[in-house]
Chains A and B, each alone.
Chain A
Amino acid sequence: MVETLPDPSASDPERIKQELMAEAERELARRAAEESRKKSRPPADSDAETVLSGETLRVGGTSVYRVMHPASPVSAMVASALLAALAMVAGSGIGLALGFAPTAEDAYSSVGAMHDSAAGAALRSIHYQGANVLVYLSVVYVMHLIWSGFFRRPGHWIWWRALALCLLVLLFGATGQLLPMDQNAVHGTHIRLGYLADVPVAGEALRSALLGGDEIGTATVARFYALHAIVLPALGLVLLRRFWRDARQAQASRASLLAHGLVIGLTVLLVLFLGSVSPAPLGLSGDLGEPFEDARPEWYALPLYQLLKWLPAGVMQLLGLVVLPLGAAAFLMVLPWLERVSAEPARLRWPLRLLSVAVLALCVGLGVWPLIEDVRANEGQGAGLFARHDVEHLMEALKRRNDALGHSRHEGLPDDAHRHARDIWQLAQQLREPLRRVPADERAKYPERPILVDYNLQPDGRLDDVRARRWREWVDAMEAGARRLYAANSDADQRKAREEIRKACVNCHDSYDVNDPVNPEPRRVVFVTRTVEVKPEIKPEVKPEALLFFDEAKFKGLKAAEVPGKTSTLMKRMKTCCVELLQHAELLKADKPPTRSIEQAFLDLQACSAPLPVIHDQFKKTFPYPGWKQACDDTDLALRELLKARRGDDFKARILKLGRACDTCHELNEEVDFRFSDLFK
C-alpha cells in the first residue's frame, strides 16, 4: 500500500485538509480495531505525541503536525536508514570493545591486532564508515525537516530530537577518534583539547577533567572510552526511544514494509561498500613527542579547520571557534519559536531553504579547500591525507623505532616491541615507492622541472634496474623482519628479528647515497609517474651482501683533483666516530649504558674506512701518497681487533692502536691537519 503523497506543506490548504481527513479516518478505524482488541489494558504506547485522537484533529492545530509528520514518507525512510546505520555501528562497536584495551600502552596494539585480522579490519571499517553514514544521514534528516517546514511549533520536539541526534553523532566522533591511539588520533585530540581550553569560563576545567594528566595518557583513554562506550550510548538510548516511535508510527501509517526493508538494505550495502572502498585507517603508533605534520581533523570538521587558518588569534578566533558554532546551534534551537504550524505553507520556508542550501554549499566549499591545498602542498608531494613522504623523512621515522628497540646485541627488547615492529612494517611499505625532495639550490637550477626524484632512477631518467631490484629486496627483508618481530614468541626470536631489520637498514645506508659524502655529482632532476615496471629477468651485477658503502661507478667518475679532498672528508668523519667510541669506552668503564649504541659507531667507522683502500686502487697513478695501501690495511686490521673488544680498558687500548694506524695515513695526507694521538691523552 505504497501511497504517493505529495509533500503536504507544498500543496494548497484544501488538499491538506482532504488528505488529513482521509488519514485521520483511516487512523481512527485502525485504532478502533486495536482498542476493541485490548480494551481492558491501558495503551502500551503512552507517548502523548504519537497517540492520535479524533477530538483534537483540527486543521491548523497541534494535531495537524502530529498527523502530518509521521505521514511524511521521506522522514520515515530517513529514520529507517538512520536506524540501520546505527544498528551496524552499535553492533560493530560492541565487537570492537571486546578486543580493546583502554590504556595508553596497549590501546594502539589492541586496535592494531584487530586491524591485522580480516574480521577485525572489516569490523573497524563498518564502525568507521557506519559513523560517516550516520553523519550524512543526520545532515539529510535535518535538511529534510527544514525543507518541509517541520521545525515549526508544536512539533518542536521532533526538531530538537534531530538536533540532539546531530550533536550526539558529533560527540561520538570526537570521543571515538582518540581510541585507536595512532598518530592522527593522539595529535588531533591534543589539538582539539587545546581549542577546548580556549573556551571562556569552563574550557580549562573541562580540558583537565578530560585529560586527567599533563597530556594524553591512560587516564585520557579511559575517560574517552567510558564516554564513547557508556555515557553517550546511554544518552543515545534515551533519544532512540523517542526516535523509534517516530519511525514506527511512520512505518505503520504510510510506507510498505518492503520499502523500508529496501532502504535498510541499501544503507547496509552503502556502509559495506564504503568500508571496502575506503577502510578504516590506522597510522603509526601515537607519540606526542614525535612531530606529526599530517594531523588533519575529520572531514566534517574541515570547514572549521580552514576557517581557523585564516582567523588571527584572539577575539577573531574565539568568534570562529566558539561563537559561530554555538550561534548556529542556538539559531537552530529557537527556530520552533519563530513560527507555528498552520494550514498555510510555512512563512519561513523559502528563506530557510535558501539559507540551508547556502550554508551547506559554503561548508562544502570550505571543506574542499584544505583538501586541494593539501594535494598541491610541497610542490606536488602533498600534505595531510595526501602526503607522500620522502625517503629521508621515512628513514628518520625508522631511526626512532630502531632506537626504541635498542641496538646492542646484549640488550633486551622493550615491552612494546610489537608496537614498534608494526610501525616499521608500515614504514617499510611506504618505502616501496621511495621519493626524495630535492634541496632548494638544486631546485633553483631547474626551475622548469618538477622537484621529485625517484630513488630508482638513473640521472638521465631511465629506471635503474639493479638499483630498483636491490631496493625491493631490502624493503622485503625489512618487512619480513618486522613481521617476524611482530609475531615473535621468544626473546631470542625477537632479537633475531631485530638483527634482520637492522641488517636491511644498514645495507640500504651503506650502498645508497642517502647520507653519502662520496656522491660526486648532484642528480639531475627528473620526474616519472608511479607505474614503473621492473623487468625481472635482469640480474643484479653485484650480490647485495657484497655491496659497499659507495657506488663504484661514481668513484670512477671522481676526478683526480678531487681525491685528496674526498679522502680528508672521510677521515674527518672517522675522527667523529673515534671520539664517540672513546666516550663509549669511558662509559663502559663506569658501567653506564652508552648514549648511542657502540655498534652504530662501529658501523659508521667501518663505512668510512672501507672506501679508503679502494681510492688507492682506483687512482694508483695519480694518487700522491706512497705507502697508503699498507697504512689502510693496518687500519682495517686494527678495526677488526677493536670489534672483538668488549669492555673498559681493553677497548680503549685497541682504539689507541687504531688511532696509531690512522695517524700513519694522516701523516701522508697534508690536507688532514689533526692527529689521533692528540685525542688519546
Chain B
Amino acid sequence: MAEPTQTPDAARREFVRAGLLGGICAACAAAGVLTLSAGATSGEAEAVAVAPMEKVLDELGPFAALSVVGGALPVEITIARRDGWRLRTRRQQVFLRRVKAGQTAECFAALSPICPHAGCSVEMAGDKKSFHCPCHDARFAADGSLAEGPSPRGLDALEVSIAARDDKPWLFIKWQDFVIGMAERKARS
C-alpha cells in the first residue's frame, strides 16, 4: 500500500531507524531489570519469640483466652522481610490457638491470617473462634479448615515450638509465606 508521496525505501529506512533506536533503548532497560531481580527474596525464615511460657499459661492477663481448649487469640510477632537490597522488620498478626490442655508445643497451634484465596488478612469472627475473610467472604472454622467461600484450602498452619531463651521457656512461632490460589500448600522461599 505504498503511497505515491512516499517511496518504499523511505518507509524502510524509517522503520529500520525507529527499530534500531527502540531496540537499543529496550535492551538497556532489560539490562536494568536483570540486575534488579537477583536475590530478591529471603531464604528460610527463623522462628520468632512470642512470649515466655509462664505468661502464655497465665489464666489472667493478655493470654487468658488460651486457658481454655479451643480458645484462640491474635498475637503480633515481628518478622523480617527482604526489601530489595536490605532487610526490614514489621509486625505481623497471627492467630494462636490452644488445641489441648498441657504445656508442650503440641498443645498450641498457630494459623497464618493470610487468606489462601487472594492474600487478604482474615479476621476473627464475633464468636472469637471462626475466621472470616472480608475481601471475598471466605469463612474458616476454628481449626483453620475451609467452611465456605472461594478459598482453595484452609488457613495455613505455622510451626509452633518452645525453646529456652534467657534460661526460661518461651513460645516461638515460625512465620512462612505460602503460595496463594492453589489447593496444594506450598511454602514460598
Contacts and interface: CB of A to CB of B under 8 A. Distances in A.
B117 to A, nearest CB: 6
Interface residues of B, number: 57
A309 B136 contact: yes
Contacts of B6: 43, 46, 48, 51
B60 A291 contact: no
A214 B41 contact: yes
Interface stretch (B65-73, B80-88, B99-107, B157-165): B80-88
Contact of A53 (B3, B58, B82, B121): B3
Contact of A214 (B82, B91, B179): B82
B123 A293 contact: yes
Nearest to B42: A214
Contacts of B10: 46
Interface in B10-34: 10-11, 14, 29, 33
A313 B4 contact: no
Contacts of B83: 104, 212-215, 217-220
A572 interface: yes
Interface string B57-79: 01011000000000000001000
B123 A291 contact: yes
A26 B82 CA distance: 66
Contacts of B61: 576, 579-580
A209 interface: yes
Nearest to B124: A291
Contacts of B4: 53, 55
B33 A209 contact: yes
Given A46-B14, A48-B11, A209-B37, A214 B5 contact: no
A191 B120 contact: yes
Nearest to B85: A219
B90 A288 contact: yes
Interface string A216-230: 011110110000000
A198 B118 CA distance: 10
A213 B83 CA distance: 5
A69 interface: no
A289 B29 contact: no
B150 A213 contact: no
B120 A212 contact: no
B181 A197 contact: yes
A458 interface: no
A580 B82 CA distance: 34
Interface in A288-344: 288-295, 305, 308-314, 317
Nearest to B10: A46
Contacts of B41: 208, 213-214
B119 A194 contact: yes
Contact of B120 (A48, A295, A311): A295
Contacts of B90: 287-289
A187 B120 contact: yes
B144 interface: no
A293 B182 CA distance: 22
Interface string A157-189: 000000000000000000000000000000100
B178 to A, nearest CB: 11
Contacts of A211: 40
Contacts of B116: 313
Contacts of A602: none
18 contacts: A43-B6, A48-B2, A194-B181, A198-B182, A209-B40, A211-B40, A212-B83, A213-B41, A217-B88, A219-B83, A222-B84, A223-B36, A289-B76, A293-B134, A308-B136, A309-B150, A313-B151, A440-B127
Interface of B: 1-6, 10-11, 14, 29, 33, 36-37, 40-42, 55, 58, 60-61, 76, 81-86, 88, 90-93, 113, 116-123, 126-127, 134-137, 150-153, 177, 179-183
Given A208-B37, A293-B135, A294-B134, 14 more contacts: A43-B6, A46-B10, A48-B11, A55-B4, A191-B120, A217-B84, A222-B84, A223-B36, A289-B92, A292-B121, A295-B134, A311-B150, A313-B152, A576-B60
Question: What 7 pairs between A and B have smallest CB-CB spacing?
Answer: A217-B83, A219-B84, A313-B152, A293-B134, A194-B119, A291-B121, A198-B181
